[in-house]
Structure 1
Protein backbone atom coordinates (compact mmCIF):
# COMPACT_ATOMS: atom_id res chain seq x y z
CA UNK A 1 0.00 0.00 0.00
CA UNK A 2 1.31 3.43 -0.95
CA UNK A 3 -0.12 6.86 -0.20
CA UNK A 4 0.18 10.12 -2.12
CA UNK A 5 -0.08 12.67 0.66
CA UNK A 6 -1.52 15.42 -1.53
CA UNK A 7 -4.46 13.12 -2.33
CA UNK A 8 -5.35 12.45 1.31
CA UNK A 9 -7.97 14.28 3.34
CA UNK A 10 -7.02 15.64 6.77
CA UNK A 11 -8.71 12.78 8.65
CA UNK A 12 -6.94 10.21 6.47
CA UNK A 13 -3.57 11.78 7.27
CA UNK A 14 -4.46 11.83 10.95
CA UNK A 15 -5.40 8.15 11.04
CA UNK A 16 -2.27 7.19 9.13
CA UNK A 17 0.03 9.07 11.49
CA UNK A 18 -1.52 7.99 14.78
CA UNK A 19 -1.90 4.42 13.58
CA UNK A 20 1.70 4.05 12.41
CA UNK A 21 3.58 6.08 15.01
CA UNK A 22 2.89 4.00 18.10
CA UNK A 23 3.20 3.79 21.02
CA UNK A 24 3.39 7.49 21.89
CA UNK A 25 4.26 8.80 25.37
CA UNK A 26 1.71 11.13 26.92
CA UNK A 27 2.43 14.56 28.39
CA UNK A 28 -0.23 15.51 30.96
CA UNK A 29 0.40 19.24 30.85
CA UNK A 30 -0.55 21.75 33.48
CA UNK A 31 -0.46 25.40 32.50
CA UNK A 32 -1.86 28.58 33.99
CA UNK A 33 -3.41 31.69 32.47
CA UNK A 34 -2.66 35.24 33.56
CA UNK A 35 -5.45 35.14 36.17
CA UNK A 36 -4.12 31.96 37.77
CA UNK A 37 -6.66 29.51 36.30
CA UNK A 38 -5.02 26.07 36.06
CA UNK A 39 -5.49 24.05 32.86
CA UNK A 40 -4.74 20.32 32.67
CA UNK A 41 -4.74 18.44 29.36
CA UNK A 42 -3.03 15.38 27.82
CA UNK A 43 -1.02 15.42 24.59
CA UNK A 44 0.53 12.42 22.86
CA UNK A 45 2.62 14.37 20.34
CA UNK A 46 5.33 14.52 23.01
CA UNK A 47 8.98 13.51 23.32
CA UNK A 48 12.55 14.35 24.32
CA UNK A 49 13.98 17.27 22.34
CA UNK A 50 17.47 17.75 23.82
CA UNK A 51 19.70 16.49 26.62
CA UNK A 52 21.99 19.50 27.13
CA UNK A 53 20.17 21.74 27.71
CA UNK A 54 17.46 19.37 28.92
CA UNK A 55 14.37 19.96 26.77
CA UNK A 56 11.08 18.32 25.88
CA UNK A 57 8.67 19.04 23.04
CA UNK A 58 4.87 18.99 22.95
CA UNK A 59 2.86 19.64 19.78
CA UNK A 60 -0.58 21.14 20.36
CA UNK A 61 -2.97 21.09 17.42
CA UNK A 62 -4.96 24.27 16.87
CA UNK A 63 -8.74 24.49 16.84
CA UNK A 64 -10.61 24.83 13.53
CA UNK A 65 -10.02 28.35 12.29
CA UNK A 66 -6.48 28.49 13.69
CA UNK A 67 -7.27 29.41 17.31
CA UNK A 68 -4.71 28.25 19.86
CA UNK A 69 -5.86 25.72 22.46
CA UNK A 70 -5.82 26.80 26.10
CA UNK A 71 -2.54 25.01 26.86
CA UNK A 72 -0.60 26.66 24.01
CA UNK A 73 -2.13 30.06 24.74
CA UNK A 74 -1.30 29.84 28.45
CA UNK A 75 2.28 28.74 27.83
CA UNK A 76 2.74 31.49 25.26
CA UNK A 77 1.52 34.08 27.78
CA UNK A 78 3.27 32.89 30.97
CA UNK A 79 6.28 30.99 29.60
CA UNK A 80 5.88 28.10 32.05
CA UNK A 81 4.31 24.64 32.24
CA UNK A 82 4.64 21.25 33.93
CA UNK A 83 4.62 17.85 32.23
CA UNK A 84 3.04 15.31 34.58
CA UNK A 85 3.74 11.77 33.41
CA UNK A 86 0.98 9.23 32.79
CA UNK A 87 0.86 5.71 34.24
CA UNK A 88 -1.57 2.88 34.95
CA UNK A 89 -2.67 4.55 38.18
CA UNK A 90 -3.77 7.91 36.73
CA UNK A 91 -4.72 7.16 33.10
CA UNK A 92 -8.47 7.22 33.80
CA UNK A 93 -8.43 10.73 35.23
CA UNK A 94 -5.98 11.80 32.52
CA UNK A 95 -8.58 10.74 29.96
CA UNK A 96 -11.23 12.81 31.74
CA UNK A 97 -9.12 15.95 31.31
CA UNK A 98 -9.12 15.44 27.52
CA UNK A 99 -12.73 16.68 27.33
CA UNK A 100 -13.21 20.04 25.61
CA UNK A 101 -13.62 22.23 28.69
CA UNK A 102 -14.40 25.95 28.14
CA UNK A 103 -11.41 28.28 28.57
CA UNK A 104 -12.82 29.71 31.81
CA UNK A 105 -13.23 26.30 33.46
CA UNK A 106 -10.28 24.60 35.18
CA UNK A 107 -10.13 20.86 34.56
CA UNK A 108 -8.21 20.51 37.81
CA UNK A 109 -10.92 22.26 39.81
CA UNK A 110 -13.82 20.60 38.00
CA UNK A 111 -12.40 17.11 38.60
CA UNK A 112 -11.09 17.81 42.10
CA UNK A 113 -7.47 17.11 41.17
CA UNK A 114 -4.86 17.61 43.86
CA UNK A 115 -2.44 20.42 43.00
CA UNK A 116 1.09 20.45 44.39
CA UNK A 117 3.48 23.42 44.35
CA UNK A 118 6.36 23.35 41.88
CA UNK A 119 9.92 24.17 42.89
CA UNK A 120 11.01 26.48 40.05
CA UNK A 121 7.84 27.58 38.21
CA UNK A 122 4.50 29.05 39.30
CA UNK A 123 2.42 26.40 37.53
CA UNK A 124 1.40 23.62 39.96
CA UNK A 125 2.03 19.89 39.58
CA UNK A 126 -0.67 17.23 39.68
CA UNK A 127 -0.63 14.99 42.74
CA UNK A 128 -1.99 12.09 40.70
CA UNK A 129 1.31 11.87 38.82
CA UNK A 130 4.54 10.43 40.23
CA UNK A 131 6.96 12.10 37.80
CA UNK A 132 6.93 15.79 36.94
CA UNK A 133 9.03 17.95 34.61
CA UNK A 134 8.92 21.64 35.45
CA UNK A 135 9.51 23.58 32.22
CA UNK A 136 10.18 27.09 31.03
CA UNK A 137 9.28 27.95 27.46
CA UNK A 138 12.25 27.95 25.11
CA UNK A 139 10.27 28.61 21.94
CA UNK A 140 7.00 27.95 20.15
CA UNK A 141 7.34 26.93 16.51
CA UNK A 142 4.22 27.55 14.46
CA UNK A 143 3.71 24.73 11.96
CA UNK A 144 1.70 24.78 8.75
CA UNK A 145 0.42 27.47 6.43
CA UNK A 146 -2.06 28.49 7.65
CA UNK A 147 -0.79 27.57 11.11
CA UNK A 148 -2.36 24.33 12.35
CA UNK A 149 -0.07 23.33 15.21
CA UNK A 150 2.08 24.88 17.93
CA UNK A 151 5.28 22.94 18.64
CA UNK A 152 6.17 23.89 22.19
CA UNK A 153 9.77 23.37 23.24
CA UNK A 154 10.40 23.71 26.94
CA UNK A 155 13.58 23.66 28.96
CA UNK A 156 13.32 21.34 31.96
CA UNK A 157 14.41 23.27 35.04
CA UNK A 158 13.39 20.79 37.76
CA UNK A 159 12.31 17.15 37.95
CA UNK A 160 10.32 15.35 40.64
CA UNK A 161 10.42 11.53 40.76
CA UNK A 162 8.75 9.44 43.45
CA UNK A 163 11.46 7.65 45.44
CA UNK A 164 10.09 4.17 44.69
CA UNK A 165 10.56 4.73 40.95
CA UNK A 166 14.26 5.63 41.10
CA UNK A 167 16.59 2.69 41.60
CA UNK A 168 20.40 2.58 41.18
CA UNK A 169 20.56 5.83 39.26
CA UNK A 170 17.75 5.17 36.79
CA UNK A 171 13.99 4.97 36.47
CA UNK A 172 12.52 1.52 37.20
CA UNK A 173 10.28 1.12 34.15
CA UNK A 174 8.24 -1.72 35.67
CA UNK A 175 7.54 0.28 38.83
CA UNK A 176 6.73 3.38 36.78
CA UNK A 177 4.22 1.39 34.66
CA UNK A 178 3.79 4.13 32.03
CA UNK A 179 0.84 4.25 29.66
CA UNK A 180 1.10 5.27 26.01
CA UNK A 181 -1.37 6.24 23.29
CA UNK A 182 -2.20 4.18 20.26
CA UNK A 183 -4.90 5.06 17.72
CA UNK A 184 -8.59 5.74 18.29
CA UNK A 185 -9.54 5.23 21.94
CA UNK A 186 -6.73 2.74 22.60
CA UNK A 187 -3.94 2.94 25.15
CA UNK A 188 -1.11 0.52 25.92
CA UNK A 189 1.12 -0.53 28.80
CA UNK A 190 4.75 -1.61 28.47
CA UNK A 191 4.14 -5.31 27.90
CA UNK A 192 7.20 -7.51 27.38
CA UNK A 193 10.55 -5.76 27.60
CA UNK A 194 13.78 -7.00 26.00
CA UNK A 195 17.35 -5.76 25.59
CA UNK A 196 19.47 -5.30 22.49
CA UNK A 197 22.98 -4.00 23.34
CA UNK A 198 24.17 -1.29 20.97
CA UNK A 199 26.84 -2.73 18.64
CA UNK A 200 30.34 -1.31 18.42
CA UNK A 201 31.76 -0.75 14.96
CA UNK A 202 34.83 -2.88 14.35
CA UNK A 203 36.76 -1.70 11.25
CA UNK A 204 38.68 -4.97 11.03
CA UNK A 205 35.61 -7.17 11.15
CA UNK A 206 33.77 -4.98 8.65
CA UNK A 207 36.68 -4.73 6.20
CA UNK A 208 35.86 -6.15 2.78
Structure 2
Protein backbone atom coordinates (compact mmCIF):
# COMPACT_ATOMS: atom_id res chain seq x y z
CA UNK A 1 0.00 0.00 0.00
CA UNK A 2 1.26 3.46 -0.91
CA UNK A 3 1.21 5.78 2.13
CA UNK A 4 1.51 9.53 1.60
CA UNK A 5 1.84 12.37 4.11
CA UNK A 6 -0.61 15.09 2.99
CA UNK A 7 1.73 17.75 4.41
CA UNK A 8 4.33 16.76 1.79
CA UNK A 9 1.99 16.80 -1.21
CA UNK A 10 1.57 19.79 -3.49
CA UNK A 11 -1.91 21.09 -4.21
CA UNK A 12 -2.22 19.33 -7.57
CA UNK A 13 -1.21 15.92 -6.21
CA UNK A 14 -3.61 16.22 -3.28
CA UNK A 15 -6.38 17.22 -5.68
CA UNK A 16 -5.79 14.20 -7.91
CA UNK A 17 -5.88 11.81 -4.96
CA UNK A 18 -9.12 13.30 -3.67
CA UNK A 19 -11.08 13.38 -6.93
CA UNK A 20 -9.78 9.96 -7.92
CA UNK A 21 -10.83 8.43 -4.59
CA UNK A 22 -14.05 10.18 -3.56
CA UNK A 23 -16.38 9.08 -6.31
CA UNK A 24 -18.79 8.99 -7.91
CA UNK A 25 -19.80 12.54 -6.94
CA UNK A 26 -23.27 13.97 -7.67
CA UNK A 27 -23.30 17.12 -9.78
CA UNK A 28 -25.24 20.22 -8.80
CA UNK A 29 -25.95 22.62 -11.63
CA UNK A 30 -26.36 25.91 -9.78
CA UNK A 31 -28.04 29.06 -11.07
CA UNK A 32 -27.53 32.47 -9.51
CA UNK A 33 -28.51 35.99 -10.43
CA UNK A 34 -26.20 38.98 -10.84
CA UNK A 35 -27.16 42.46 -9.69
CA UNK A 36 -27.93 43.43 -13.30
CA UNK A 37 -30.20 40.40 -13.80
CA UNK A 38 -27.87 38.04 -15.68
CA UNK A 39 -28.53 34.37 -14.95
CA UNK A 40 -25.26 32.56 -14.30
CA UNK A 41 -24.98 28.76 -14.16
CA UNK A 42 -22.16 26.39 -13.23
CA UNK A 43 -21.78 22.70 -12.31
CA UNK A 44 -20.24 21.60 -9.00
CA UNK A 45 -19.38 18.08 -7.87
CA UNK A 46 -18.28 19.11 -4.37
CA UNK A 47 -21.96 18.83 -3.43
CA UNK A 48 -23.98 16.91 -0.85
CA UNK A 49 -26.76 16.78 1.78
CA UNK A 50 -26.05 18.39 5.16
CA UNK A 51 -29.26 17.56 7.03
CA UNK A 52 -32.90 16.76 6.24
CA UNK A 53 -34.53 18.82 9.01
CA UNK A 54 -34.28 21.57 8.02
CA UNK A 55 -33.37 20.53 4.45
CA UNK A 56 -29.81 21.83 4.04
CA UNK A 57 -27.39 21.12 1.19
CA UNK A 58 -23.76 22.11 0.71
CA UNK A 59 -21.79 23.28 -2.31
CA UNK A 60 -18.08 23.95 -2.11
CA UNK A 61 -17.08 26.62 -4.63
CA UNK A 62 -13.33 26.66 -5.16
CA UNK A 63 -11.84 30.14 -5.56
CA UNK A 64 -9.95 31.19 -8.67
CA UNK A 65 -6.79 33.22 -8.09
CA UNK A 66 -8.01 33.94 -4.55
CA UNK A 67 -11.23 35.54 -5.87
CA UNK A 68 -14.79 34.30 -5.33
CA UNK A 69 -16.32 32.69 -8.41
CA UNK A 70 -19.52 34.13 -9.86
CA UNK A 71 -21.69 31.50 -8.18
CA UNK A 72 -20.42 32.21 -4.67
CA UNK A 73 -20.36 35.98 -5.14
CA UNK A 74 -23.91 36.08 -6.52
CA UNK A 75 -25.26 33.71 -3.86
CA UNK A 76 -23.74 35.78 -1.07
CA UNK A 77 -24.97 39.06 -2.56
CA UNK A 78 -28.56 37.92 -3.17
CA UNK A 79 -28.88 35.24 -0.51
CA UNK A 80 -30.43 32.83 -3.03
CA UNK A 81 -29.60 30.16 -5.60
CA UNK A 82 -31.21 27.19 -7.34
CA UNK A 83 -29.70 23.69 -7.42
CA UNK A 84 -30.52 21.31 -10.27
CA UNK A 85 -29.74 17.58 -10.31
CA UNK A 86 -27.74 16.70 -13.41
CA UNK A 87 -28.99 13.77 -15.47
CA UNK A 88 -28.42 12.11 -18.83
CA UNK A 89 -31.14 14.11 -20.59
CA UNK A 90 -29.17 17.36 -20.56
CA UNK A 91 -25.62 16.35 -19.58
CA UNK A 92 -24.02 17.92 -22.67
CA UNK A 93 -25.64 21.28 -21.96
CA UNK A 94 -24.66 20.99 -18.30
CA UNK A 95 -21.06 20.51 -19.37
CA UNK A 96 -21.16 23.67 -21.52
CA UNK A 97 -22.04 25.74 -18.45
CA UNK A 98 -18.56 24.96 -17.07
CA UNK A 99 -17.11 27.42 -19.62
CA UNK A 100 -15.25 30.40 -18.18
CA UNK A 101 -17.33 33.46 -19.03
CA UNK A 102 -17.40 37.02 -17.75
CA UNK A 103 -19.96 37.72 -14.98
CA UNK A 104 -22.22 39.64 -17.36
CA UNK A 105 -22.35 36.68 -19.77
CA UNK A 106 -24.88 33.90 -19.23
CA UNK A 107 -23.82 30.26 -19.34
CA UNK A 108 -27.51 29.41 -19.58
CA UNK A 109 -27.74 31.21 -22.93
CA UNK A 110 -24.44 29.73 -24.12
CA UNK A 111 -25.71 26.20 -23.41
CA UNK A 112 -29.10 26.83 -25.01
CA UNK A 113 -30.93 26.06 -21.78
CA UNK A 114 -34.34 27.48 -20.88
CA UNK A 115 -35.02 29.50 -17.75
CA UNK A 116 -38.18 29.06 -15.70
CA UNK A 117 -39.48 31.28 -12.89
CA UNK A 118 -38.99 30.05 -9.34
CA UNK A 119 -41.76 29.98 -6.73
CA UNK A 120 -40.04 31.43 -3.65
CA UNK A 121 -36.74 32.94 -4.82
CA UNK A 122 -35.89 35.50 -7.48
CA UNK A 123 -33.27 33.28 -9.14
CA UNK A 124 -34.72 31.42 -12.16
CA UNK A 125 -34.41 27.69 -12.55
CA UNK A 126 -33.60 25.63 -15.62
CA UNK A 127 -36.56 23.97 -17.31
CA UNK A 128 -34.54 21.07 -18.75
CA UNK A 129 -33.63 19.83 -15.26
CA UNK A 130 -36.19 17.39 -13.92
CA UNK A 131 -35.32 18.05 -10.27
CA UNK A 132 -34.55 21.50 -8.95
CA UNK A 133 -34.37 22.96 -5.47
CA UNK A 134 -34.87 26.62 -4.66
CA UNK A 135 -32.48 27.61 -1.88
CA UNK A 136 -31.82 30.51 0.43
CA UNK A 137 -28.29 30.95 1.71
CA UNK A 138 -28.17 29.67 5.28
CA UNK A 139 -24.45 30.28 5.74
CA UNK A 140 -21.25 30.82 3.78
CA UNK A 141 -18.03 29.52 5.30
CA UNK A 142 -14.65 30.52 3.79
CA UNK A 143 -12.32 27.53 4.20
CA UNK A 144 -8.72 26.61 3.60
CA UNK A 145 -5.92 28.96 2.70
CA UNK A 146 -4.14 29.75 -0.52
CA UNK A 147 -1.82 32.75 -0.97
CA UNK A 148 -3.20 34.34 2.19
CA UNK A 149 -6.86 34.04 1.15
CA UNK A 150 -9.53 31.34 1.58
CA UNK A 151 -9.27 28.47 -0.90
CA UNK A 152 -13.01 27.96 -1.20
CA UNK A 153 -16.42 29.20 -0.14
CA UNK A 154 -18.69 26.55 1.37
CA UNK A 155 -22.28 27.49 0.63
CA UNK A 156 -24.92 26.00 2.92
CA UNK A 157 -28.32 26.35 1.30
CA UNK A 158 -31.72 25.77 2.88
CA UNK A 159 -34.15 24.26 0.40
CA UNK A 160 -37.40 26.22 0.45
CA UNK A 161 -39.08 24.66 -2.59
CA UNK A 162 -38.69 21.38 -4.48
CA UNK A 163 -39.67 20.84 -8.12
CA UNK A 164 -39.80 17.22 -9.35
CA UNK A 165 -40.96 16.06 -12.79
CA UNK A 166 -44.15 13.99 -12.67
CA UNK A 167 -42.47 10.94 -14.20
CA UNK A 168 -39.92 10.88 -11.36
CA UNK A 169 -42.26 11.41 -8.42
CA UNK A 170 -43.70 8.35 -6.69
CA UNK A 171 -45.66 9.11 -3.53
CA UNK A 172 -42.89 11.18 -1.95
CA UNK A 173 -40.02 9.16 -3.40
CA UNK A 174 -37.81 9.68 -6.47
CA UNK A 175 -37.69 7.02 -9.20
CA UNK A 176 -33.92 6.86 -9.43
CA UNK A 177 -33.81 4.63 -12.50
CA UNK A 178 -36.04 7.09 -14.34
CA UNK A 179 -33.96 10.07 -13.21
CA UNK A 180 -30.79 8.65 -14.80
CA UNK A 181 -28.44 10.84 -12.76
CA UNK A 182 -24.89 11.45 -13.90
CA UNK A 183 -21.93 11.73 -11.56
CA UNK A 184 -18.42 13.09 -11.75
CA UNK A 185 -15.31 10.95 -11.67
CA UNK A 186 -11.80 12.29 -12.33
CA UNK A 187 -10.47 14.22 -15.31
CA UNK A 188 -13.07 14.34 -18.09
CA UNK A 189 -14.82 11.17 -16.94
CA UNK A 190 -18.43 10.84 -15.80
CA UNK A 191 -20.56 7.88 -14.76
CA UNK A 192 -24.15 6.76 -15.20
CA UNK A 193 -26.13 5.07 -12.45
CA UNK A 194 -25.30 1.51 -13.51
CA UNK A 195 -26.15 -1.58 -11.46
CA UNK A 196 -27.63 -1.08 -8.00
CA UNK A 197 -27.99 -3.45 -5.04
CA UNK A 198 -29.52 -3.40 -1.57
CA UNK A 199 -28.13 -4.17 1.89
CA UNK A 200 -30.25 -4.27 5.03
CA UNK A 201 -28.87 -2.02 7.76
CA UNK A 202 -28.06 -3.99 10.96
CA UNK A 203 -30.08 -3.39 14.12
TM-score normalised to the size of structure 2? 0.96
- The alpha carbon displacement at 1:88 in A equals 0.6
* Residue deviations 1:92-119 (CA, integer Å, cap 9, x gap): 1100110111112111123332000000
- The alpha carbon displacement at 1:50 in A equals 1.0
Ranges in structure 1 where 5+ consecutive residues have no aligned partner? 201-208
> Once superposed, what is the RMSD of the aligned Cα atoms?
0.8
| Paired residues for 1:124-143 under 5 Å | 124-143=124-143
Matched, 1:196 2:190: no
Counterpart in the other structure of 1:150: 153
CA contact (8 A) 2:97 2:110 kept: no
- The alpha carbon displacement at 1:169 in A equals 2.7
Matched, 1:181 2:184: yes
Ranges in structure 2 where 5+ consecutive residues have no aligned partner? none
User: How many residues align structurally?
Assistant: 199
CA contact (8 A) 2:96 2:110 kept: no
TM-score normalised to the size of structure 1? 0.94
The CA distance in 2 between the partners of 1:188 and 1:111, in whole Å, is 21
| Paired residues for 1:97-176 under 5 Å | 97-145=97-145, 146-176=149-179
Runs of 4+ in 1 over 6 A off after TM superposition: none
